[in-house]
């Protein structure tokens, strides 16, 4: 039923090769779109650590993303840090916020988590809006993307889109690798156990509360990292990085892609970013279409696009009972 392991590996290598060759294949403008897709893939991936794996429905993931974005820009601007420390600082800021908010939001599960994450996101948003001295309020704050310092090699300038593309790609691939590995660690497995049966995990003797905080921190770290790169990409951060729309965007991306598979959120982030790009040129009601897609999936395909693709693949597989064309796997 499943393609053999070497076929999977072949697909992975082919995919990486295409990603590596991307700047030679497409022009400047599509490359910018692809960078956006990659950054949002990481954001959605971090979101799914909570939503898909731990079963925690968050309406406040923009808090970590936005704080990461502000942190990287401010580190570039006020401290003159180079690229990598600035981005790592963004991840750390997200992680620290993940500890603080995590202590509050995971105390009560289920619906409370959704309520509280939304309320705390609103609080952080209000903070960003009011603390004008630091964040510039609604005007935002701007800083140039600094060079990347590599030991023994010196500075690599990041003004070029191609350089920047490779930087983002490598960071996100490393994070993806880590997130994938995380699902196989004891904490990652416990995470899924919490989703399936929290009481049982408690009876076995796990500290459910602290595990949830830890998972929240990991998720927040990667969201902060994604935010830091999004800020550095735009070289400008404003309150739109941290508002409720940003928080619901990542929820929609993850759900549309499918929270049940590891690569679903990546698929969702790429699909919706791309659709957003082509449809917002054609119609101003793009967000309505996005909402309708979302509701239809909630009602008829709760496993999202990746779930649809898998069931499609299974159908082809059983119908033909022979070699499967890789077409059903999509570009995810």
Partner 1 sequence: MDTLAALPVQALHGLVYGMLLFLVASGLTLIFGMMGVLNFAHGALYMMGAYFSWSILQWTGHFWLSLLVAPLVVALAGVIIERFFLRKVHSYGHAHELLLTFGMAYIIEELVKIFWGNEPLLVVLPSLLAGSIPLLGTQYPVYRLFILGVSLVVFILMFFVLYKTRAGIIVRAAVANKRMVGALGFNVPLVFLVLFGMGAWLAGLAGVIGGPYLITNPAMASTIIIDLFVVVVVGGLGSIQGALIASLLIGQLQSIGILILPQFAIFFEFLLMALVLIFRPHGLLGESK
| Residue among 70 and 120 whose Cβ is closer to partner 1 | 120
Binding mask 100-129 for partner 1 (x = CB under 8 A): ----x--xx-xxx-xxx-xxx-xx--xx--
- CB 250 → partner 1: shortest distance, Å? 13
Task: Select from 33, 244, 301, 308 the one that contacts partner 1 (CB under 8 A).
Answer: 244
Helical packing angle, 5-25 and 28-48, nearest 10°: 140
**Residue where the block lists tokens 């990603």:** 19
The beta-carbon contacts of 240-243 under 8 Å, at least 24 apart in sequence, are 241/62, 241/65, 241/66, 241/69, 241/70, 242/62, 242/63, 242/65, 242/66, 242/67, 242/69, 242/70, 242/121, 242/124, 242/125, 242/128, 243/62, 243/66, 243/125
Task: Select from 55, 85, 137, 330 the one that contacts partner 1 (CB under 8 A).
Answer: 55
- Of the ranges 77-85, 270-278, 282-290, 311-319, which one interacts with partner 1 (CB under 8 A)? 282-290
| C-alpha to C-alpha distance for 303 and 306, rounded to whole angstroms | 7
Token pair, residue 143, equals 């800083």
Using CB under 8 A as the binding rule, whether residue 99 contacts partner 1 is answered as no
- CB 108 → partner 1: shortest distance, Å? 6
| C-alpha to C-alpha distance for 158 and 229, rounded to whole angstroms | 12
Task: Select from 191, 248, 261, 273 the one that contacts partner 1 (CB under 8 A).
Answer: 248
Q: How many residues bind partner 1 (CB under 8 A)?
A: 35
Using CB under 8 A as the binding rule, whether residue 298 contacts partner 1 is answered as yes
Report whether 322 contacts 7 (CB < 8 A): no
| C-alpha to C-alpha distance for 184 and 50, rounded to whole angstroms | 15
| Residue among 17 and 123 whose Cβ is closer to partner 1 | 123
- CB 297 → partner 1: shortest distance, Å? 9
By CB under 8 A, name the binding residues for partner 1. 55, 57, 59, 104, 107-108, 110-112, 114-116, 118-120, 122-123, 126-127, 130, 244, 248, 251, 255, 285, 287-288, 290-292, 294-295, 298-299, 302
């Amino acid at each position: 039923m499943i393609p053999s392991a070497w076929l999977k590996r072949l697909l992975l290598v082919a995919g990486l090769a295409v990603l590596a060759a991307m700047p030679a294949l497409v022009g400047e403008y599509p490359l910018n779109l692809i960078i956006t897709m990659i950054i949002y893939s990481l954001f959605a991936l971090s979101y799914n650590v909570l939503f898909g794996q731990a079963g925690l429905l968050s309406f406040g993931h923009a808090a970590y993303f936005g704080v990461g974005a502000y942190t990287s820009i401010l580190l570039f601007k006020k401290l003159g840090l180079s690229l990598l420390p600035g981005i790592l600082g963004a991840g750390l800021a997200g992680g620290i916020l993940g500890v603080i908010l995590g202590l509050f939001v995971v105390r009560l599960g289920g619906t409370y988590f959704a309520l509280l994450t939304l309320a705390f996101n609103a609080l952080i948003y209000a903070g960003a809006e009011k603390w004008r001295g630091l964040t510039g309020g609604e005007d935002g704050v701007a800083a140039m993307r600094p060079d990347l310092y590599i030991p023994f090699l010196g500075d690599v300038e990041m003004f070029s889109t191609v350089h920047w593309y490779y930087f983002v790609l490598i960071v996100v691939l490393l994070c993806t690798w880590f997130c994938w590995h995380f699902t196989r660690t004891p904490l990652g497995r416990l995470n899924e156990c919490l989703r399936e049966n929290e009481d049982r995990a408690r009876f076995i003797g796990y500290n459910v509360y602290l595990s949830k905080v830890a998972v929240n921190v990991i998720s927040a770290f990667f969201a902060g990292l994604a935010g830091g790169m999004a800020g550095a990409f735009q070289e400008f951060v404003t309150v739109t990085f941290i508002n409720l729309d940003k928080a619901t965007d990542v929820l929609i991306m993850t759900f549309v892609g499918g929270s049940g598979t590891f690569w679903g959120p990546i698929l969702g982030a790429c699909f919706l970013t791309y659709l957003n790009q082509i449809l917002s040129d054609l119609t101003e009601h793009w967000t309505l279409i996005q909402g309708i897609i979302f509701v239809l999936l909630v009602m008829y395909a709760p496993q999202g696009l990746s779930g649809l693709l898998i069931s499609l693949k299974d159908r082809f597989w059983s119908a033909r009972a022979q070699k499967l064309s890789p077409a059903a796997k999509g570009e995810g």
